[in-house]
DNA sequence: CAGTGGTCTAGACCACTGG
DNA sequence: CAGTGGTCTAGACCACTGC
């Protein structure tokens, strides 16, 4: 269930190998030669058949995480990609479809396909599910952010585990408060691996105008792609209740989020306390 | 934001009209004649162009909600559907793709496409996001269910509003407790419109072996397809803490769920109180 | 083996965007 | 207007299921 560090979930890496795909346009497809390309002949169990479009998707994924295609920029057109990978347009289309479904890429008819980004996305706070009660006055949009603390420290065993580090490795630890309409509503503690976020300071966090994930993206080249949250109901301790300006008997939502970059690599642990008197956490089930 | 009763979200209803689709296989597609089929010529603003596969999807949706295709049964093969609707297989495929993405239908290679169901789905509790803490012992799967109450009553203004009824309309009101490993963990109050659920009793709820949504499906022909949840942190009142065997200072997750059938018609309001000492609410963000 | 969904292609045309 | 994504088709072949 839990992703093991550096172990990519998606297959389509071994069975590709000779991905020049100089498949002759002889009628149907060409994937049959997989039986003589990557298959070790004595492969135990599953044959690990991977459709062409999955392989193209994997290649595109590499272009995304290598930085060849940068956030908010357009990727090559479907035509170009088809030529580049020597497949039909329909096949790259299906690959792009999946990338779009995972929000890694955004299609815009008539314009092109663009690398998704946390910045310039004016619906700010892509991962925040807290919305004002329906009886609230208007859209009290602009949240005030206050950085309480930003320090370098050592990862505890637990933090290290979820961030795929070793206990004692350097991490940044950030604490901040978000207020809506002047009311402190969210208290967050963040842990970030020190290496990719080298140079992070409270000042940089304060001076940046935009969501924190946008900052990570533009300043550190770290794109959060997916996240998992564990939610509980808790009571605050003295310090927490003080920061949120509430008493110790006010129940709060505890939202523990692990955010991932490409390849399901965890890059952030965030523990939030949400005050839910004027807001609620919204979720949609399919 | 909030779905208005009986107002279908999906378009593709007006612009179809003459959906016999006797489009001659003359080269490309045939949707161009939409300009002389449903378009009122002086249509204000958007042209409401609806691709063929969306129209096919709408037709299939009708077959689903009319009961022509029953839960857990196979729908016609893609070939058959293509013939029936007089379109290519690729087009019905795209329609089915969307239905599958919405969990209305399940594809099984080599076997066929089946109408999704809450029953026979051995991963029981499709909408329940509560999972045991990772440090918990094993998979303490079988939840004990206890119906506290099941009575007929009148909808309050608020209940009526979310269920698209009028205040005072008859509703069923159910209260139950779910226990895991002997510990009361969830206290739920449900409101159901009386008409579709005519004949519901505590006995029927108790004697049914399976998820409640499976019962709704098999006994009343009501298929829940989608749900929205609003989550807050709360403290229990005296009666609630008594039923959950906790004290009044234990914070709980309040999960208010509205479940919808086809056409975004709300058919259930459920207010759950979750004890989150040994469990947490899990969510995935994309 | 036949039947079903899944992949792939090649080509045509449509809708949308921007110069 | 050219370029891009979006739709549709017709046909071939593959992978999986079950008889």
| Strand B112-115 versus strand B252-260 pairing type | unpaired
Report angle CA A178, A181, A187 to the nearest 5 degrees. Answer: 20
CB contact under 8 A, A232 and B249: no
Q: Which nucleotide is nearest to B100 (CA to C1')?
A: C5
Nearest alpha carbon to residue A276 among A252, A256, A255? A252
Can you tell me the distance from the alpha carbon of B16 to that of B87, in angstroms, rounded to the nearest whole number? 14
Task: Give the mean pLDDT of B259-271.
Answer: 97
Q: Which nucleotides of D are covered by protein (CB under 7 A)?
A: 3-18
CB B196 within 8 Å of CB B220:
yes
Residue of A nearest to B225 (CA): A286
Q: Which residues contact A103 (CB under 8 A, 6 or more apart)?
A: A116, A225, B286
Q: Which residues contact B276 (CB under 8 A, 6 or more apart)?
A: A231, A232, A233, B130, B251, B252, B253
Strand, coil or helix: B272: strand
- Given a cut of 70, whether residue A19 has pLDDT beyond it is no
- Given a cut of 50, whether residue B139 has pLDDT beyond it is yes
Can you tell me the distance from the alpha carbon of B74 to that of B95, in angstroms, rounded to the nearest whole number? 16
Q: Gap from A263 CA to C12 C1', in Å?
A: 38
Other C-beta atoms lying within 10 Å of the C-beta of residue A168: 11
CB A23 within 8 Å of CB A29:
yes
Nearest alpha carbon to residue B84 among B29, B20, B14? B20
CB burial class (10 A; 0-12, 13-18, 19+) of residue B198?
A: exposed
Residue of A nearest to B273 (CA): A233
- Given a cut of 90, whether residue A20 has pLDDT beyond it is no
pLDDT of residue A141: 67
CA A67 centroid distance within chain: 15
Report angle CA A70, A256, A282 to the nearest 5 degrees. Answer: 80
Interface of B with A in 173-232 (CB under 8 A): 226-232
Q: Which residues contact A268 (CB under 8 A, 6 or more apart)?
A: A163, A190, A191, A192, A216, A224, A257, A258, A259
Q: Gap from A15 CA to D6 C1', in Å?
A: 31
The answer to whether residue A274 neighbours chain B at the CB level (below 8 Å) is: yes
Q: Which nucleotide is nearest to A95 (CA to C1')?
A: C7
pLDDT of A77-88, one tens digit each?
Answer: 999 999 999 999
Q: In which band, very low, low, confident or very high, does the pLDDT at B96 lie, cut at 50, 70 and 90?
A: very high
CA distance A201 to chain B (A): 27
Q: Which nucleotide is nearest to A92 (CA to C1')?
A: C8
Q: Which nucleotide is nearest to B30 (CA to C1')?
A: D8
CA distance B73 to chain A (A): 20
CB contact under 8 A, A235 and B229: no
Strand, coil or helix: A230: strand
CB B258 within 8 Å of CB B266:
yes
> B283: which chain A residues are within 8 Å (Cβ-Cβ)?
129, 228-229, 231, 283
pLDDT of residue B121: 67
pLDDT of residue B242: 98
CB contact under 8 A, A251 and B230: no
Nearest alpha carbon to residue B255 among B184, B190, B201, B181? B190
Q: Gap from B39 CA to D5 C1', in Å?
A: 24
Q: Kindly report the average pLDDT of chain A as a whole number.
A: 86
Q: Torsions phi, psi of A173, nearest 5?
A: -125, 125
Task: Give the mean pLDDT of B141-159.
Answer: 94
Look at A125 and A114; give whichever has higher pLDDT.
A114
CA distance A164 to chain B (A): 17
Give the number of C-alpha atoms closer than 13 A to the C-alpha of residue A111, restricted to the C-beta side: 9
Look at A138 and B86; give whichever has higher pLDDT.
B86
Q: In which band, very low, low, confident or very high, does the pLDDT at B135 lie, cut at 50, 70 and 90?
A: confident
CB A176 within 8 Å of CB A206:
no
- Given a cut of 70, whether residue A24 has pLDDT beyond it is no
CA distance B60 to chain A (A): 19
Q: Torsions phi, psi of B210, nearest 5?
A: 155, 175
């Amino acid at each position: 269930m839990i992703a093991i560090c550096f172990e990519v979930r998606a297959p389509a890496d071994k069975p590709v190998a000779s991905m020049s795909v100089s498949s002759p346009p002889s009628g149907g497809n060409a994937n049959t030669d997989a039986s003589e390309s990557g298959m070790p002949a004595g492969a135990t169990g599953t044959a690990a058949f991977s459709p062409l479009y999955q392989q193209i998707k994997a290649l595109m994924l590499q272009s995304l995480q290598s930085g060849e295609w940068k956030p908010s920029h357009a990727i090559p057109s479907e035509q170009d990609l088809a030529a580049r990978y020597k497949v039909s347009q329909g096949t790259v289309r299906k690959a792009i479809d999946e990338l779009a479904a995972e929000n890694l890429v955004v299609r815009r008819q008539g314009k092109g396909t663009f690398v998704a980004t946390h910045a310039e996305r004016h619906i700010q706070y892509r991962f925040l599910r807290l919305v004002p009660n329906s009886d609230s006055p208007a859209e009290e949009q602009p949240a005030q952010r206050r950085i309480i603390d930003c320090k370098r420290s050592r990862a505890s065993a637990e933090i290290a585990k979820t961030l795929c580090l070793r206990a004692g490795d350097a991490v940044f630890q950030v604490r901040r408060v978000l207020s809506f309409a002047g009311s402190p509503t969210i208290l967050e503690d963040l842990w970030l691996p020190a290496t990719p976020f080298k140079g992070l300071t409270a000042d940089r966090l304060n001076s940046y105008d935009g969501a924190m994930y946008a900052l990570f993206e533009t300043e550190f080249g770290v794109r959060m792609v997916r996240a998992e949250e564990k939610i509980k109901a808790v009571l605050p301790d003295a310090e927490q209740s003080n920061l949120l300006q509430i008493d110790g008997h006010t129940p709060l939502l505890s939202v523990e989020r692990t955010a991932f970059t490409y390849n399901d690599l965890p890059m952030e642990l965030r523990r939030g306390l949400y005050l839910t008197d004027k807001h609620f956490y919204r979720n949609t089930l399919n």
